[in-house]
Amino acid sequence: MADQIENYIKGLLNNSTSGTVELQRQELAELFTCVPSQITYVLSTRFTIERGYLVESRRGGGGYVRIARVPLRAEDQVKGWVQEALGDYLSQDAATELLARLGEEGLLTRRERMLLAAAINRNALPLELPQRDRVRASILKAVILTLLRDDFPGEQ
């Protein structure tokens, strides 16, 4: 069910000229014959900043949810997004989502994503939480920002 809801919302976003959609939880819940909390779950797990979405929620008075896809185009914009998405601590799940987003945007190759995923995997970082999440964020930040540098030689 969550996949269907996610795909529906992504379809709406793809068809939107502005890259933004406004939805009502209750209407979506009725459309998918589920409870509004299931819609909230999908929004909070599938439409995160790591995955490249901004979600604004307004309650009451026919409240709505506004979802915007954040395109990564300019180098400064990408670097700012990486800094924001990473922060000081990064869970394995959030890191996986971040790498997938960078791949979708064509900023990392499949090989680069696989290498980074292996390097930051919980099994490769024999530390206790929260230190492991801090080291993971630090590694990803350093490597991704290095790969995005203008003077970094690309694949040959």
Residue 8: per-residue pLDDT: 95
Q: What is the pLDDT along the chain (156 residues), one digit of tens a residue?
A: 899 999 999 999 989 888 889 898 889 999 999 988 898 899 888 887 767 787 877 766 556 788 887 765 555 666 676 777 677 888 898 888 888 877 877 778 899 899 999 999 999 999 999 999 999 988 988 887 777 665 555 544
CATH says 75-147 is which class?
mainly alpha
Domains 2-69 and 75-147 share a fold: no
- As a whole number of Å, the CA-based R_g of the chain is 18
Residue 156: per-residue pLDDT: 40
Domain ranges of the chain: 2-69, 75-147
- DSSP assignments along 51-90, one per residue: TTEEEEEE-SSS-EEEEEE----SHHHHHHHHHHHH-S--
92, 139 contact by CB (below 8 A): no
Residue 151: per-residue pLDDT: 52
pTM listed for this prediction: 0.53
Which residues are CB-neighbours of 34 under 8 A, at least 6 positions away?
Answer: 1, 5
In CATH terms, the fold of domain 2-69 is Phenylalanyl-tRNA Synthetase; Chain B, domain 1 (3.30.56)
CA distance 94 to 113: 14
Residue 50: per-residue pLDDT: 67
Query: Among candidates 64, 49, 63, 67, which has minimal Cα distance to 11?
Result: 67
Residue 120: per-residue pLDDT: 93
Query: Among candidates 82, 2, 12, which has minimal Cα distance to 39?
Result: 2
Residue 129: per-residue pLDDT: 92
